[in-house]
Amino acid sequence: DAQIYLSVRVARLGARYILLLAEDRTESYRLDEVRRDFVANISHELKTPIGAVGLLAEALESASDDPVQVRRFAKRLTTESERLARITQEIIELSRLQAADALHNPDLVDIDHVIASAIDQNRVAADAQAIQLVGGGDKGATVYGDESLLITAVHNLIANAIQYSSGNSRVGVGVTNRDGTVEIAVTDQGVGIPEDELDRVFERFFRVDPARSRHTGGSGLGLSIVKHVVQNHGGDIRVWSQPGYGSTFTIRLPQAAQTGTRVGAQK
Ligand code: ADP
């Protein structure tokens, strides 16, 4: 059911001929559609937290005589506004990533540093749930790209692994470095993802269990951001999962040339 969108212009050439100019506008039409959907999604997603902030502010006002209530509402107000700030930040990040097909000024990025930073950022959350967070595997890999975007990508995978696991389990971040490809695998022993939802987890705003995600504060944008970062780096991402046993998300990125020069860099 493929559709093509053409813009057609007609010009008369003298008395006998007309000139038809047809331009294939399918791609720009598709991009417009993606943009329209995105805006509709955003409005929908923001309605709930914005509504909650309004209600909490009202509740706070009418509870002003009761310090216990005031403290309770104020705390929830802080949580909701933090959540709103996080979703907004992720929306901005995702729309930036969607607008760019590739990176403009890639740097030589040290994967060991990316992994160490992403693990560091998640240490407190892992400890809080008694989750053992360990890195391992090959050292010394480098790729051309944007270090902070790569840290964000690995961070999001680890944060999910922790978020969708129960306590006393293990989250592993393993690196394999071979045949010109760096593979970063984040493995958890958490709730897993049903097979028929596996394809959909990279869609923006998609959540397997909206109730649980809402509870944990998830926006449904994390994996979508990861996918765009990986694609902008010329790589891909896969997921393996078994409900009840756990999940593994694997990012593959093209390695930088070993010569230490910038030959082969995307410019
Ligand atoms: P969220 O902010 O809701 O975590 P993501 O885009 O990061 O959004 O993930 C989309 C959905 O995929 C999540 O809501 C969750 O249902 C599922 N998911 C992601 N990572 C995992 C994981 N490691 N284990 C189980 N489910 C996961």
**For residue 241, pLDDT beyond 50:** yes
What are residue 78's DSSP bridge partners? none
Closest C-alpha to 110, from 195, 26, 175: 175
Is 172 touching ligand 1 by the criterion CB < 6 Å?
no
Q: Is 151 within 8 Å of 229 (Cβ atoms)?
A: no
How far apart are the CA of 266 and the centre of ligand 1, in A? 31
- The DSSP bridge pattern shows strands 142-145 and 170-178 to be unpaired
User: Span 183-205, mean pLDDT?
Assistant: 94
What pLDDT score does 267 carry? 40
pLDDT in tens, 94-151: 888 887 777 888 999 999 999 999 999 999 999 999 999 999 999 999 999 999 999 9
What pLDDT score does 215 carry? 60
Is 223 touching ligand 1 by the criterion CB < 6 Å?
yes
Closest C-alpha to 152, from 231, 93, 193: 93
Is 220 touching ligand 1 by the criterion CB < 6 Å?
yes
How far apart are the CA of 40 and the centre of ligand 1, in A? 21
**For residue 74, pLDDT beyond 50:** yes
Strand ranges for 25-155 from DSSP E: 107-110, 132-137, 142-145
What atom in ligand 1 is closest to the CA of residue 209? Answer: 16
In Å, what is the CA distance from 162 to each residue of 130, 154, 198, 221?
10, 12, 18, 16
**Phi-psi map region of 194: left, alpha, beta (phi>0 left; psi -120 to 50 alpha):** beta
Q: Give the rounded percent of residues in the chain with a pLDDT score beyond 90.
A: 67
Q: What CA–CA distance (Å, rounded) separates 168 from 81?
A: 31
Average pLDDT, the chain: 89
Q: What CA–CA distance (Å, rounded) separates 155 from 106?
A: 20
Q: Is 152 within 8 Å of 214 (Cβ atoms)?
A: no
